[in-house]
Structure 1
Amino acid sequence: MDQLQRSLLESPIVEKGEYHYFVHPISDGVPMLEPSLLREIVIKIIRKARLENVDKIVTPAAMGIHISTAVSLMTDIPLVVIRKREYGLEGETPLFQETGYSESQMFINDVDEGDNVLVLDDVLSTGGTLSAICAALEDIGANIVDVVAVIKKVEGTNELDESAYSAKTLINVTVEGGEVVIVDPTGDD
């Protein structure tokens, strides 16, 4: 069993309404993120993602930042963070993000028509964030080379399934009886 699997099995579960949310260093920054876990995840992403011809890594704030920064450092691919704050810069593109437990407006800067991008996020649950990001990138005219999420929560409706995009994942889990259960330890393409 690798470190990602072990850390997920040890994750506490909290409820946000009807949504069962696991608390994990990758998705929450709590408990602290051990460098060895981050390193393991980054190596898995680099092996799984299509990185050839990628001009930019695109990630939503906030929990995609640490993963994407590490991937950027290892691949020398520049990083674009989708922010929850509007800056009013030329070319800024707004998008509306809705997840199983929140909704918000986000803003993309520094992605241009024709850019080849890797979309990278921590968790794919409802698909609301990734589907909104992919739609906004498509509106900009960027080419989405690949979409990768570290962890996929498999139960429920996934909006990304209804789009033209799919996400590669490193591990697929569900929450049953107040515990994380590993459905697929290697994720899926």
Structure 2
Amino acid sequence: MKTTIKMCGITTLEDALAAVSAGANALGFVFSPSPRQVSADVVRSIINQLPPFISTVGVFVDEPLPFVLETIQRSGISMVQLQGHESNEYCQQIDKPVIKGFRVAAEVDIDLINSYQVSAYLFDTYVEGQDGGTGKRFDWALLQRRHFSRPVIVAGGLNVNNVRHLMEALSPDGVDVSSGVSATATTKDSAKMRAFVSAVEAAGQEPRLEKLAFGEVDILRDAFHDRPLVEVNGKQFLINSLTEQVPATPARLLHVAAQRVCEAAELSPGLKLVGEEDKGGVLLAAVSLLCGLPFGIARWYPSGLEGQVKVGFDCEYISGELYLNGVEPGDRVVIVDDLISTGGTLIGLIEAVRRAGAHVEQIICVAEKLEYAGVERVRNVTGLEVKTLVRVRVSGATSSVVSVAY
């Protein structure tokens, strides 16, 4: 089934027509206090100039019922979205289809939500003191494997870079975007709207990375579990398909690893990926292809090009120099790597990014060798946290996976 796309916070006819032209199925107009608040008369003038078969949604937050009913009549909207603490009884007094919004924090009350007899449920991010339009996403895992009695629409921090991951994680009936396609606090960016719709449509056409059901084989976990270890200079090296290409790396394994990185990261427009060319370069390119973000790379030899940053590093099996390309002052960086052992390479990468005048916002590694305490070392030296997805013990003749974080 095709995913419905709602673009919210429309304030002008120009933006409304651009959203429709981009492929939006529904337009949202905010009638409660907000930078994007509009009047019923303005919305009426916009709706009168829209093509047919476009849903128009009025967004209200804890407004008196008479105000809502009057606004429906004056504006001509076709649906109502209630984003406050409105009761089911309140919803039943509205003679238009109702979307009931719920703000998600740390848990989801399924019984309460399913008690609302409305047309659809919309899930947005809970932020203290804000009723919506936060530009922040919530933990989508809170909705996984839950049964809702009405269609589900997801909002909260969506943009062209992460909506694909949302659809693969939840397959919602609809998506709702506002700040992710904005030009300013009150206007939209037509290029961002077109790109967002294209991303939703592409995600609907591509094979999905299914969530693992109980008992299914996890090929990413298995790539690091019960694999041979080789000792070099007193260090245990893990031989596997993803980092060593032994045996050859299956395309699906690389895709799964890159997808898990995208899911674990908080990706948004304006970020840049960074990694090193040795074992992490293949993964870095795969992540870039999936999320659409550009990447810079640190090489083990100099190019002599202007702007290249040189740093020393000391990892578990070698010391040397890294030469970072493609990172500019002011860049917001997500470092991606395949495996962390002692953390020496990561520390060098972080230093290189900082010398380039950029800021490291996140670090994601697929696997972590627990015995070498690299995560702790990176934290102690740089003050940054490293998020790892597969935690592996390397002792004896073979490896063993302790836990996964996805």
| TM-score for both structures, normalised by structure 2 | 0.44
Aligned length: 187
User: Match of 1:174?
Assistant: 393
Percent identical residues: 27
Contact 1:95 1:106 in 2 (8 A): yes
Give distance in 1, aligned partners of 2:309 and 2:223: 36
Greater share of residues in strand: 1
What pairs with 1:94-109 in structure 2 (closer than 5 Å)? 94-109=310-325
CA displacement 1:157-176 (0-9 Å, x = unmatched)? 42313121121111011112
Contact 1:11 1:180 in 2 (8 A): yes
User: Match of 1:19?
Assistant: 235
Q: Which amino acid is 2:237 matched to?
A: Y
Q: Classify 1:84/1:90 alpha carbon distance in 2 versus 1 (closer, same or farther; 3 Å).
A: same
1:160 aligns with 2:378: yes
SS of 1:100's partner is coil
The structure that has the greater radius of gyration is 2
What pairs with 1:15-94 in structure 2 (closer than 5 Å)? 15-94=231-310
Contact 1:120 1:148 in 2 (8 A): yes
Q: Displacement, 1:119?
A: 0.5
Contact 2:308 2:325 in 1 (8 A): yes
Contact 2:295 2:326 in 1 (8 A): no
Structure 2 unaligned blocks of 5 or more: 1-216
SS of 1:105's partner is strand
Q: Which amino acid is 2:378 matched to?
A: L
SS of 1:148's partner is strand
Contact 1:53 1:116 in 2 (8 A): no
SS of 1:88's partner is coil
Aligned-residue RMSD, C-alpha:
1.4
Contact 1:50 1:145 in 2 (8 A): no
Contact 1:134 1:165 in 2 (8 A): no
Structure 1 unaligned blocks of 5 or more: none
CA displacement 1:19-76 (0-9 Å, x = unmatched)? 0101112211221001111111111111101212443211101211111111111111
Q: Displacement, 1:89?
A: 1.0
User: Match of 2:402?
Assistant: 183
Q: Which amino acid is 1:140 matched to?
A: A
Q: Displacement, 1:146?
A: 0.8
Give distance in 1, aligned partners of 2:270 and 2:245: 27
Q: Which amino acid is 2:246 matched to?
A: V
Q: Displacement, 1:127?
A: 0.4
| TM-score for both structures, normalised by structure 1 | 0.93
SS of 1:80's partner is strand
Q: Which amino acid is 2:234 matched to?
A: E
SS of 1:130's partner is helix
User: Match of 2:171?
Assistant: none
